[in-house]
Amino acid sequence: MRKAPLLLALGLLLLAACDSGSEGGGPAPGPSRATAPEETRTPASEETRPAVSMTGLVEHLRALQKIADRNGRNRAAGTGGYRSSVRYVAARMREAGWRVRLQPVTFPFFRQRSARLEAEGRGLRRGRDFRVMSFSGGGRVAGPVRSAGLGCRGEDYEGIDVALVRRGDCFFRIKALNAQRSGARCLILVDPGLRGQPFSATLGGPGVRIPVVVLGSEAARRIRPGVRVRLAVDAVSERRVDENVIAETRAGSGERVVMAGAHLDSVPAGPGINDNGSGVAALLEAAEALAQRSPGSRVRLAFWAGEELGLYGSRRYVRSLPAPERDRIAAYVNLDMIGSPNAVREVYDDAPPIARALQRALTRPAVRRQMGGSSDHAPFRRAGVPVGGLYTGAAERAPDGEPRDPCYHRPCDTIDNVERGLLLETARAATEALRALAS
């Protein structure tokens, strides 16, 4: 029953070989050359290979937007929005045929829900008169203010409930821990040289259980030793665990790996659809295009946890790799903010071969520049892995004076903030560059 179709197929293959040898007037390839089988296979793979499409990109952006909408309007590390983002990405990668694993990432988590400070019964303005330090503890306290000087010694706090300390001589965390160990119930910090609003400051991580606030210059004039204050801070400061999503093609040589990555978390202020749902959507579409046939080397895609808090996911991953595994990574391509509405096309200039592959794949010329250490390429570069990437701008000013992304780290970074035509271009460029680098 199958003999006649098989003979017909063999005949068609012979005709195709004759046609390809005569096209263009060149000689037919000899028996020692391997080009003829490749020429026969390539058109078939091109026809069946899924394309990076606007439909697919928008589908992923809408999914991330819905996740944010259901989880307090963000997908920040340590939240239900981030965990739902992990589930969505892992499911889509498995559906596309990739091997997927989840890597735990521990990171410091801080979230301030509310804060109120009163002096002699009059409320102060949060942000303008006082700020809660990052990783402050929570709690309520009322009583007269007493000076603890610089607060760098435990004995400075003897018998004090509400401690007022000056900036200087030791880290904020040391002052706070000294106050806590000595029985103080809160810490208020002033900078005698400050003019204007309170500065932003951090205690460096969890461990401080008492409220710690910084005063602006106007509030510092009002809150002096003897003044009665009332302070209430509702905050969470602890260590939490999220996950990186790491996926790899099933086909391809394992001797050499080409990687690309995008951070999966948003800031708490907004849903993060350009920063960095754009990079995530591009990788998911690249996964569809690259899954069926790996072009030589294996391709590995990563969706990073905790980038907005300090590159926790990518740093955890690079540290986990033994030296031989790091040496197998021939290239890492970073996609972070690639659909900015007032964009400039920029290509990382760290590794010329990667930069050239990305520039060739873009439909319009790109600016090449060093990207510093502000995104997930940095741990790879420090480990000696060649890095590259695409970027279309954040808070930098364009020639028209407007920011490249006016919604950078703001609630308005929604699906409507993404320049979809640009995202399609950058997603296709990233996919083609990955294919070229892996060949």
Give me the tens of pLDDT residue by residue for the chain, a chain 439 residues long. Answer: 433 333 333 333 333 333 333 333 333 333 332 222 222 223 333 444 468 999 999 999 999 999 999 999 999 999 999 999 999 999 999 999 999 999 999 999 999 999 999 999 999 999 999 999 999 999 999 999 999 999 999 999 999 999 999 999 999 999 999 999 999 999 999 999 999 999 989 999 999 999 999 999 999 999 999 999 999 999 999 999 999 999 999 887 778 999 999 999 999 999 999 999 999 999 999 999 998 665 689 999 999 999 999 999 999 999 999 999 999 999 999 999 999 999 999 999 999 999 999 999 999 999 998 888 999 999 999 999 999 999 999 999 988 899 999 999 999 999 999 999 999 999 999 999 999 999 8
Task: Count up the domains in the chain and report the number.
Answer: 2
> Do 356 and 258 reside in the same domain of the chain?
yes
> Do 223 and 271 reside in the same domain of the chain?
no
What 8-state DSSP symbol labels residue 52?
P
Last residue of one domain, picked from the residues 238, 268, 289: 238
Query: Is residue 269, in this structure, part of any structural domain at all?
Result: yes
Query: Is residue 31, in this structure, part of any structural domain at all?
Result: no
CB neighbour list of residue 304: distance below 8 Å, 6 or more residues apart: 244, 261, 262, 263, 264, 265, 311, 313, 314, 317, 376
Last residue of one domain, picked from the residues 181, 214, 238: 238
Identity at 71, one-letter amino acid code = N
Residue 307 known to be catalytic:
yes
CATH number, residue 260: 3.40.630.10
Query: Is residue 243, in this structure, part of any structural domain at all?
Result: no
Q: What does the alpha-carbon distance between residue 133 and residue 199 come to, in Å, rounded to a whole number?
A: 9
> Do 90 and 224 reside in the same domain of the chain?
no
Query: Is residue 24, in this structure, part of any structural domain at all?
Result: no
Q: What does the alpha-carbon distance between residue 50 and residue 207 come to, in Å, rounded to a whole number?
A: 50
What was the pLDDT predicted at 410? Answer: 96
> Do 302 and 228 reside in the same domain of the chain?
no
The 3-state secondary structure of 339-377, one letter per residue: CCCCCCCEEECCCHHHHHHHHHHCCCCCEEECCCCCCCH
Last residue of one domain, picked from the residues 238, 259, 284: 238
Structure tokens at 158: 């003897």
Query: Is residue 86, in this structure, part of any structural domain at all?
Result: yes
What was the pLDDT predicted at 36? Answer: 28
Q: What does the alpha-carbon distance between residue 208 and residue 206 come to, in Å, rounded to a whole number?
A: 6
Q: Where are the beta strands (DSSP E) in 152-296?
A: 162-166, 186-190, 212-215, 228-248, 253-263
Contact present, 124 and 118 (Cβ < 8 Å):
yes
Query: Strand, coil or helix: what is 129?
Result: coil
> Do 326 and 381 reside in the same domain of the chain?
yes
> Do 325 and 407 reside in the same domain of the chain?
yes
> Do 216 and 291 reside in the same domain of the chain?
no
Structure tokens at 326: 């790091």
What was the pLDDT predicted at 291? Answer: 82
What was the pLDDT predicted at 1? Answer: 40
Helix (H) or strand (E) holding 100: strand 99-119
> Do 135 and 215 reside in the same domain of the chain?
yes
> Do 87 and 120 reside in the same domain of the chain?
no
Which of 307, 308, 425, 432 is catalytic? The answer is 307
- What does the buried/exposed string (b/e) look like for 182-207 if buried means 16 or more CB atoms within 10 Å of the residue's CB? bebbbbbbbbeeeeebbeebebbbbb
What was the pLDDT predicted at 254? Answer: 72
> Do 184 and 80 reside in the same domain of the chain?
no
Residue range of the domain that includes 158: 110-238
What 8-state DSSP symbol labels residue 26?
P
> Do 292 and 403 reside in the same domain of the chain?
yes
Contact present, 404 and 396 (Cβ < 8 Å):
yes
Torsion angle (degrees, nearest 10) of CA 389, 395, 398, 402? 150
> Do 231 and 267 reside in the same domain of the chain?
no
Query: Is residue 220, in this structure, part of any structural domain at all?
Result: yes
